[in-house]
Structure 1
Amino acid sequence: MEHERFALNSGRKRPAYTPKNIRCPHCGAGLTIKDEQSELVVCEYCGSHLNVSRDEMEVLGKGASRKWEFPLKIGDSFRYNNARYEIIARMVFIEDGDETEASRQYLLYNPYHGTLWLDDYQGQYSLSMDTHVMPVEDPFSKRRGDLLKTHDDQAWVMEGAGTYELVYVDGALPWIAQIGDQAEYAEFLNKSNPKLQYEAQRIAGEIEYGKGESLSLAQVRQALGKPDFLKTEGTGKAAQRAVSVDNVVSARRGFTFAFVVITIALIVNGFAYMVASSQGRRVLEQNFTAQELTAETISEPFIVRKDNDILKITANANLDNAWMALDIGVVRQDDDPIRNEDMLLHVDDADMSYYHGTEGGESWSEGSRSSSSYIQIPQKGTYKLMVHAVSNSGETETATQAEHSATIRVYSGALVPYYSMLMAIVSAIMLVGTFAMYHKWKHGDEDDDDDDD
């Protein structure tokens, strides 16, 4: 008997509804309606869609010409929370006309507890039910990775959104469904427990909400009472179906962690660069006129107080739409007054150019009036600079003398900031790359739609 098949041992009385037997007006086959809410019944013999919501049945037409395969049959049992449910309807939805992206849905019925939905998407199973818990915001305005709050103080992460099209249905449904019906969906995973799910569906302007949870294949087998479910397929060869869920919660956490780590690295290296650039004690500051730069001039002496000290040499020129080619040599002064043989240790190029103007009503500038270089001095002692430069204005590419003056400063005990600068640049590139990956991941569904168009 029907009530024995659905016995719950809960002491509750079964609602006053007796399964209704009908005959298909098209082929005359006997059918049984088990859910009093059913409005559509698909004849399992001829495939006719029957409207049973009225006193007089109406044949709506034939179903889809293609017969889809299902791993579960109408009438199969499914146990949930110690209650036995029965599959009373099966549906297939596809997205963007791609049959490889088919989602199979099963309507589960229990006379005491109503209905549940079992969803099978490429071997990934979930169980859901209708809910009256409303979202705080419009769920269809979200994109993958966005957060959605519901009025039960839960936070959900957008997993995906799109539009499903119904391509197959059989069994009995509590509404009139037709092949080709479309439904917008927005799916979310719980931020704290990604196994929990929240979904919004918009059909013909009406929005329905559901809550559910993902199920492992082991849980599905246990609920079906079929320990060998999906262990063999087709020809009978062992082919355990892998379940690989794109966990947007974990992905979002991963991107957030990457953003935090890379941003911290960028800040630390940027700060280290600024600290290194500001280190050093000034031991020389001297202005050289254009005539002195043309004639190759020796600077005032300065003292390096320790071996292997690092000098930072900066040059600033009063350039205005002009360029300067500046050579700076470091000369070790011979402290022996008799020998008096100074030694040239290092020569460095400090080329500078600075141009500016207005174009299209907007100001522009390029180049710099300053330059800096770092030199390691192997021995402490007294040193001088030997400077020589040529410069010119405008677009002239050659010069025989300097037309501009320059100020040169020397700092002792400097730190070379190149490593920090390099790491800051690498961190910035990684941050941009991570953001690009996040944008591609977040808008992946939209990009796919654009490609299809």
Structure 2
Amino acid sequence: MSDVEMTQEANLFAVGAGRERPKYTPKALQCINCGASVKLFSEQAVQAVCDACGSMLDLSKEEQVVCGLVSKNRVRGLQFPLLTEFVFESRTYRVTARLVYKDGWGALSYDYLLFNPFFGSFWLSSYKNDFTTSRVSHVMPCTDPFALSDGKKLTTHDKKVWIRLEQGKQELVYVDGALPWHAKIGDTHEYVELQSKTHPKVFFEVEREATKDGAEMEFAISREISLFELKSALKDKSLMDFLGPIKAPESKTPAWILAGVSLLAALGFFLALFSSSSRQIAEVHFSPTELNNETLSSTFRVDDVRFPVEIEMYSSVDNAWMYLTWAIVESSENMPTKQTYEEVAGGARNDKMVHIGEAELSYYHGYEGGESWSEGSQSDTLYVLFPKPGTYRLMAKAVSGTRESEDVAKHSISFFIYENARLDRYYLFMLFLSLSLVYVSRIKIKDFKLDDFISDDD
């Protein structure tokens, strides 16, 4: 044989040499107790239950052995018969075994082993008509989950964080079908259930035998599935008629639209928050004498009336109070100096008031009992919308003092005027609201998939 022929012959037996696995044909055998036919859908089955007489057949030995008996009286609540077909990820799985467990509260949970000869098996579980799918995980926890208390965090070696929900025991009360391990009525195991910190529909489950000290722990990742998902996967839809009408989940398109609009709005408010800048257009000071005479300031120009004009007031009150009446006057001409109200009223000018306001300022402080104290404020800030661009003046009159009753002003006040004053607190509120809507939309959109939580080692 030539070297080329020897190489070709060797390649025929190489791993992955292009040979397809032959299609698996379910095996059929006869129950040694009653002679009924028992079909095995997995070549790895080591135990089967005869559907006719309930005998538990041990197939791990060279000859069949009856290792137990299952009551022919079916437990209540088994929704799916053996051989029921489901389609998950375009692959057809059949129910090849069913197990029913009873927990410490007497509630029953139902586990269905879904098997495909080419893609293996996983579990479909039901507890009070809430369904989950579970697959074996080989990712180990960093700490003993049985040593934690409920509510504590656990980290697995793939850096995922889980919150412990509960610990309990379950007893096997019913089994039928074919299994790749031995299961006996009365078998008991302990379990711990943990929920993903970031994905509330995903769980990390840990089990161990309850009757064996130092028993090896087994791990699984499970995911909640909706009734609509389950019915979509079930080939015989009539098996879920007992649940009544099942509505399709809401369309996520509105949530996507809301998320997009909210995100754009949040970006706009964020940019506006840092891009807005006010511009000082006037600084006006009134002495006590001017406040007693109801004085008008020199004129100032307001050009941008799209946003409010900010008016900041600072008084000189100190352990005293001030009651201030002020007004904004639209001026028909520029006036570089101050005037009293009598001087303006006696002329032929066509000025008019466009805004009138009042302010009460008081500031008191002292030292008592070894501590300093203060109350009130010497300043105040107001926002005014001007009717149109133009030339304006401030007019002010006040009384102030330290006694309860005063009739003249004894303190001065200053006004600082800014146009294009955008209220940061409103932008912050709208930014927070927009981000909240984005977060709510994200919750509606997010669809957690089990594959996202199973590492490549699983």
**In 1, are the aligned partners of 2:266 and 2:434 still within 8 Å (CA)?**
no
Secondary structure of the 2:80 match is coil
Quick one: distance in 1 between partners of 2:324 and 2:60?
Answer: 93
Quick one: distance in 2 between partners of 1:48 and 1:368?
Answer: 93
Name the counterpart of 1:87.
95
Amino acid at match of 1:68: R
Deviation at 1:422, TM superposition (A): 3.8
Amino acid at match of 1:285: V
Unaligned runs of 5+ in 1: 1-8, 192-196, 222-227, 443-453
Quick one: distance in 1 between partners of 2:370 and 2:260?
Answer: 44
Name the counterpart of 1:369.
379
Name the counterpart of 1:386.
395
Name the counterpart of 2:432.
428
**Please, which of 100, 107, 122 is the counterpart of residue 116 of structure 1?**
122
- Structure 2 CA distance for partners of 1:268 and 1:211, relative to 1, 3 Å: same
**In 2, are the aligned partners of 1:318 and 1:369 still within 8 Å (CA)?**
no
Quick one: distance in 1 between partners of 2:434 and 2:407?
Answer: 46
Quick one: distance in 1 between partners of 2:71 and 2:375?
Answer: 71
Pairing 1:352–2:361 present = yes
Quick one: distance in 1 between partners of 2:35 and 2:366?
Answer: 89
Name the counterpart of 1:220.
234
Pairing 1:264–2:262 present = no
Amino acid at match of 2:357: D
Quick one: distance in 2 between partners of 1:267 and 1:123?
Answer: 46
Q: What whole-Å deviation, never above 9, does each CA across 1:389-427 have from its counterpart, x for those lacking one?
A: 23456xx8765444533212345xx23535x75454344
- Structure 2 CA distance for partners of 1:401 and 1:160, relative to 1, 3 Å: farther
Name the counterpart of 1:417.
422
- Structure 2 CA distance for partners of 1:246 and 1:41, relative to 1, 3 Å: farther
Structure 2 length as normaliser, TM-score?
A: 0.56
Pairing 1:72–2:69 present = no
* Structure 2 counterparts to residues 247-258 of structure 1, below 5 A: none
Q: What whole-Å deviation, never above 9, does each CA across 1:196-233 have from its counterpart, x for those lacking one?
A: x9763211372413589976645431xxxxxx432773
Secondary structure of the 1:376 match is coil
**Please, which of 202, 205, 210 is the counterpart of residue 201 of structure 1?**
205
- Structure 2 CA distance for partners of 1:63 and 1:263, relative to 1, 3 Å: farther
- Structure 2 CA distance for partners of 1:265 and 1:201, relative to 1, 3 Å: same
Unaligned runs of 5+ in 2: 1-18, 209-215, 334-342, 447-458
**In 2, are the aligned partners of 1:297 and 1:387 still within 8 Å (CA)?**
yes
Secondary structure of the 1:348 match is strand
Amino acid at match of 1:389: A
Name the counterpart of 1:225.
none
Amino acid at match of 1:374: V
Name the counterpart of 1:296.
293
Q: What whole-Å deviation, never above 9, does each CA across 1:224-243 have from its counterpart, x for those lacking one?
A: xxxx4327736xxx966445
Q: What whole-Å deviation, never above 9, does each CA across 1:66-98 have from its counterpart, x for those lacking one?
A: 822334223556688999865332235799969
- Structure 2 CA distance for partners of 1:311 and 1:65, relative to 1, 3 Å: same
Quote the RMSD (CA, aligned, Å): 6.4
Quick one: distance in 2 between partners of 1:357 and 1:338?
Answer: 44
Deviation at 1:371, TM superposition (A): 2.1
- Structure 2 CA distance for partners of 1:95 and 1:186, relative to 1, 3 Å: farther
Deviation at 1:164, TM superposition (A): 8.2
Instruction: Report how many aligned residue pairs link the two structures.
Output: 388
Deviation at 1:316, TM superposition (A): 1.0
Deviation at 1:328, TM superposition (A): 1.3
- Structure 2 CA distance for partners of 1:86 and 1:116, relative to 1, 3 Å: same
Secondary structure of the 1:350 match is strand
Name the counterpart of 1:317.
315
Quick one: distance in 2 between partners of 1:330 and 1:380?
Answer: 12
**Please, which of 170, 175, 178 is the counterpart of residue 170 of structure 1?**
175
Quick one: distance in 2 between partners of 1:364 and 1:40?
Answer: 84
Deviation at 1:150, TM superposition (A): 8.5
* Structure 2 counterparts to residues 140-159 of structure 1, below 5 A: none
Deviation at 1:251, TM superposition (A): 12
Name the counterpart of 2:337.
none
Name the counterpart of 1:451.
none
Quick one: distance in 2 between partners of 1:429 and 1:113?
Answer: 47
Name the counterpart of 2:325.
327
Name the counterpart of 2:237.
229
